Amino acid sequence: MSTRLAVPPGRAGRLWLVQRLAVANRAAVLLDRKLQVLTSELDRLRAAAEQTGAGWDAACRDAERWLLRAVLLGGERAVRLTGDVDRAEVTVWYTVTMGARHPAGAECVAGRAEGWEGAAVAAARQAHRVALAAAVRHAAAAPARGVVEAGDKATQERLRAGRGAVGARGPACSGSRSDAATMRACWMS
């Protein structure tokens, strides 16, 4: 649905239209710059999420192997005798990229273990700590990619809508012609 703008008559109307076109063009330039920044950040975050996901998978496989070795060497009783472990502490820090707040990273400090442990159990525990730290890093990287991806998509839509409002009217409406009647016709179409 097209709405008619109340363009003032005469020279004031022409000036009004020129100012509106200048504002629309400046908005398009700013949105284009925002899109460039978000796209480069999105590329970086996609690579980081892929890398942390692969690291997490590898660490999980390693932890499973060490747990199996510990069970085979010491039995399930040896694993149960390792005792309780204090809780792990996870710290997540955030950043803002062009208005999109997302996790910038995370770290995990595993609690200390008490109780008996043999060599295989100690290696299994260490492998599980590494897997936990990798999981925390990936848990921060994956949502960051999603947040910036949503901001990138929204900016693309806003830019497309703005260009559709200004650019779809053709070269006669680009502001290069000084004919006030032509400019008024562009905005009223």
| Per-residue pLDDT tens over the stretch 5-61 | 677 788 888 888 888 888 888 988 999 999 999 999 999 999 999 999 999 999 999
Q: Which residues contact 12 (CB under 8 A, 6 or more apart)?
A: none
Contact call for residues 97 and 39 (beta carbons, < 8 A): no
Q: What's the pTM value of the predicted model, to 2 decimals?
A: 0.71
Domains and CATH numbers, the chain: 10-188 (1.10.287.3240)
pLDDT, residue 2, reads 60
pLDDT digits 0-9 by tens, 55-77? 999 999 999 999 999 888 888 87
Rounded Cα distance, 186 and 130, in Å:
63
Higher pLDDT, 30 or 181: 30
In degrees, rounded to 5, the angle at the alpha carbon of residue 126 between the alpha carbons of residues 74 and 78 is 20
pLDDT for 6 equals 78
- Closest-CA residue to 37 (of 143, 139, 137, 159): 159
